[in-house]
Structure 1
Amino acid sequence: MSTAVTHGADISESTPSQQLDAAFSKVTWRLIPFLMVLWILAWIDRVNIGFAKLQMLNDLKFSEAIYGLGAGIFFIGYFLFEVPSNLLLERIGARKTIARITMLWGITCVAMMFVTTPTQFYILRFLLGVFEAGFYPGVILYLTYWYPTERRAKAFGLFMSASALAGVLGGPLAGTIMTQLNGANGWAGWQWVFLIEGIPSVIAGIVTLFYMTDKPEKANWLTDREKSLILADLERDRTALGPREHKILKSLRDPRVWQFIAIYFCIILANSTLTFWGPTAVREVGFTSPAAVGWIMAACYLCGAAGMILIGRSSDRHREARLHTGFAALLGAAGMAALGFLVPNGSYFALIALAFAIIGTMSAIPVFWQMPNAFLSGSAAAAGVALINSVANLAGFGAPFAMGVIKDATGLMSPGLWMVALFEAATVFLIIKFIPTSAKAGK
């Protein structure tokens, strides 16, 4: 058999299966690293408030409850605009949609440096949610245009691990900026964090317009042979999955969508708590330097990134999503419950508990998405995935705010951590009750 050259190597002796693997490898190297960079920037700009808090609250005389409300109100904007953004992506394409999203959230992040009142804080955090809405579910939808079901968990895991890598990079970066630039040009360290971390997103949004490709058939960086192999495999996958819901309104009335929302809500409740209160937990153990807090959080998120990739690969290998999601969530719940017991004692074992909480909670996320993608497609996938993500992410509003109120009222984080751990543990019950055993990755 005579075939074209791929990646500069002679594959004349390769089988069709090997050629297909090579084509998808080319897709992965082209798409995933760039999407990971965008997600790292998005995540850093979303959660840098957790580090800025270490100086910002004292400078602006904000209470823990004001911080919690401001951190969480991001998700109200996220909720209101996520479904429209995903439907717009399907209409005008991922390239234009993601470029718009990236530039606007970067501009809003920079504007955060000028906050002086709670109202300004709330407005900008709300706008950050509005502008970022659609990026995460948009990428989830976008990857379904490029990968068949059995290849998606690994692709999702690689992409979503960027949020953990953002923690690895963002913690030390924010801590160093706050320590080294505090007072420079008359600005506080937390102001420099928003400026320095917002500008790269604006630049990345411009690059997106020139780099991204909407669908395989438009990819001029694939050969005709590679395009035909990928498109044929995607068609095989659609046929194997059988009839799935395409109509938007009907998918939104489907009780399965709301069951997935309940499951994901519990996971996001824990994830948001760790995101916005993790640095505070580290400080309460006894690490007061922003740089030290940043490096400790980086180590925890590095473990989380490894967990996301390993559990995603295991899900692909076993073609199973239910138990992988449930086990990861249960591990996260156990870690968070232990954290609640250990933080008040100032025990360094609290850092180990925090690491396990992050590993479990973050690892549950990419595998979870294999389940709803098994029965939604087309416009239903655009609306259904966005609805699941946006409604469930309201937990991101409730968790930080509740933690702030509890912290102000009791002086302790522990009651809030135990409450969230209970919700995350309920994920296992919800999966067993609502998701049939046939809902496996790849089926």
Structure 2
Amino acid sequence: MSTTQTPGAAVSDALHGPALKSAISKATRHLMPMLIILYFVAFLDRTNVGFAQEALKIDRGISDGAFALGAGIFFIGYAIFEIPSNLLLKRFGARFWLARIAITWGIVAAAFAFTTNDTMFIILRFLLGITEAGLFPGVIMFLAEWFPNKVRVQMFALFYLAQPFSQMLGAPLSGGLISIGDTVTPWHGWQVMFFAEGMLAVVAGIAAFFFLTDSPQKAKWLNKTEKAALIDVMVQEDKVRESDGPSGVWRAMASWKVWYFTVIYFCLQIAVYGTTFYLPQQVAGLLGKDVGWEVGLVAAIPWLVGLFVCFFVGKYATMILRRRNWGTLFFFGTGVFILGSGWAGAISQPILGILFITLAVSCFLSVGPITWSYPTAFLTGTAAAAGIGLINSFGNLGGFVAPIMRNSVNETVVTDSGVWGVVSLGLFAFVAAAMIYCTKFFKAKADVLLETPVN
């Protein structure tokens, strides 16, 4: 009887070894806190503009149309430079490149304090997208090189926790900085918010250069046994991915699977940013309050709940059936609850509105890590750099489409509540739910890596 194992079986057996488990535990402790901090600040700097919308209109005359264009044009610059940034990360290493990204975007984010008109606002949003390009897909690719497939959704979920943390803590932080700035500084409150939160990114970038490690081979904090176990299992997984996915930049960009998950991610981002950009204003409308400390605290509630749901889903999504079923369920829930939040606003039910927003945020946060588990299971090397960059860059165009679409629908179908603009966002989540469900018809060699749960 032959005792030869397939790469998938070897990976499955190795994953239960104490040396590998110790290596994964150490990698989690050494890498994840810094990555979470980077994304925390990035998400804060790309979405804090929602807290300044009314103030920018009053103090600088920024129109609603310019705000919608500026909110979305971030993703155009982001999309253009995403794939080149990922390829440069492969060349220079994650430690240097992620630090560079954070420092440069922090400088641009701080410059929003000096916005004077529509044109400057739109240009700065475009530059913010250029300078931040590559952070998210770079981290996704980085984690795929560090963590085996069985635990990867859990790592993605931990990384995604930066989103609820940034909004849970960032909402009252942004609202508080606006309130403090207006009362104790010679600047406008929104200027204090932009400058202080931009400088946070610069500090985080400097710290990342010292705290991150490019690869398991360079990890001085792993002993020889741990390092060998982790390197071995990642090499075995690479063999599976190389046999199952495209090789090279151009084949990755032409892969139908890559484009399939690009569409799914596009639908997800429409839901995420169509909700996130307008969340402070939506909460303020539900409460009948101006944006400030109180609205910031209430706007933090959806992210607090979403934090726990995302962590739970990431911890237990260790098998392909769970990932597909939960992905379908949470995408469907995203659509239902976004529609519900618009309906609650239309009938002036603030408590119901906050409840639906909370459930929508919990759903789209939880489904993000599951979505990324699919392409990272069949992409490796330069194909991963190009494919993951393509999915994120074109998918993130949903962030460009969402605010413009929401604003256009509201102008076309005029209502006091703007309910139809919200409805337009939720419909895309149903498309993503159907597409995730249809992955049951895919035949992927990487699925063997998920046949048994992690002990």
Q: TM-score range by the shorter chain?
A: over 0.9
Corresponding residue for 2:178? 178
Distance 2:99 2:434 in 1: 39
Corresponding residue for 1:6? none
Instruction: Note the C-alpha offset of 1:107.
Output: 0.4
Corresponding residue for 2:3? none
Instruction: Note the C-alpha offset of 1:317.
Output: 5.2
Corresponding residue for 1:12? none
From 431, 435, 438, the counterpart of 2:436: 431
Is 2:270 aligned against 1:269?
Answer: yes
Corresponding residue for 1:294? 296
1:62 counterpart SS class? coil
Distance 2:155 2:16 in 1: 21
Corresponding residue for 1:342? 344
Distance 2:433 2:301 in 1: 27
Corresponding residue for 1:389? 392
- Asked if structure 2 preserves the Cα contact closer than 8 Å seen for 1:319 and 1:442, the reply is no
Corresponding residue for 1:90? 90
Distance 2:386 2:132 in 1: 16
Corresponding residue for 1:223? 223
Instruction: Note the C-alpha offset of 1:416.
Output: 1.1
Distance 1:137 1:341 in 2: 35
From 337, 362, 376, the counterpart of 1:373: 376
Distance 1:54 1:323 in 2: 41
Corresponding residue for 2:207? 207
- Asked if structure 2 preserves the Cα contact closer than 8 Å seen for 1:161 and 1:309, the reply is yes
- Asked if structure 1 preserves the Cα contact closer than 8 Å seen for 2:241 and 2:380, the reply is no
- Root-mean-square deviation (Å): 1.8
2:146 counterpart SS class? coil
User: Could you tell which deviates more after superposition, 345-354 or 283-292?
Assistant: 283-292
User: Could you tell which deviates more after superposition, 48-57 or 191-200?
Assistant: 48-57
Q: 1:341 to 1:16 in 2, by over 3 A?
A: closer
Q: 1:389 to 1:441 in 2, by over 3 A?
A: farther
Corresponding residue for 2:8? none
Identity across matched positions, percent: 34
Corresponding residue for 1:10? none
Instruction: Note the C-alpha offset of 1:437.
Output: 5.3
| 1:219-248 deviation digits (Å, cap 9, x = unpaired) | 112112211111112123234556032211
- Asked if structure 2 preserves the Cα contact closer than 8 Å seen for 1:319 and 1:441, the reply is no
Count of aligned positions: 429
Distance 1:427 1:209 in 2: 37
Is 2:263 aligned against 1:258?
Answer: no
Q: How does 1:191-202 map to 2 (within 5 A)?
A: 191-202=191-202
Distance 1:210 1:375 in 2: 31
Instruction: Note the C-alpha offset of 1:312.
Output: 1.4
Unaligned stretches of 5+ residues in structure 2: 1-14, 451-455
Corresponding residue for 1:130? 130
Distance 1:367 1:434 in 2: 12
Corresponding residue for 1:112? 112
| 1:178-237 deviation digits (Å, cap 9, x = unpaired) | 112215432111111001111111112112222211001111121122111111121232
Distance 2:407 2:273 in 1: 13
What is the letter of the counterpart of residue 218 of structure 2? Answer: K
| 1:97-130 deviation digits (Å, cap 9, x = unpaired) | 1011000111011100110100000000000000
Q: TM-score, normalised by structure 1?
A: 0.93
Q: 1:93 to 1:256 in 2, by over 3 A?
A: same
Distance 1:372 1:442 in 2: 14
Corresponding residue for 2:18? 18
Is 2:423 aligned against 1:418?
Answer: yes
Corresponding residue for 1:314? 316
- Asked if structure 2 preserves the Cα contact closer than 8 Å seen for 1:285 and 1:344, the reply is no
Distance 2:249 2:84 in 1: 12
- Asked if structure 2 preserves the Cα contact closer than 8 Å seen for 1:316 and 1:441, the reply is no
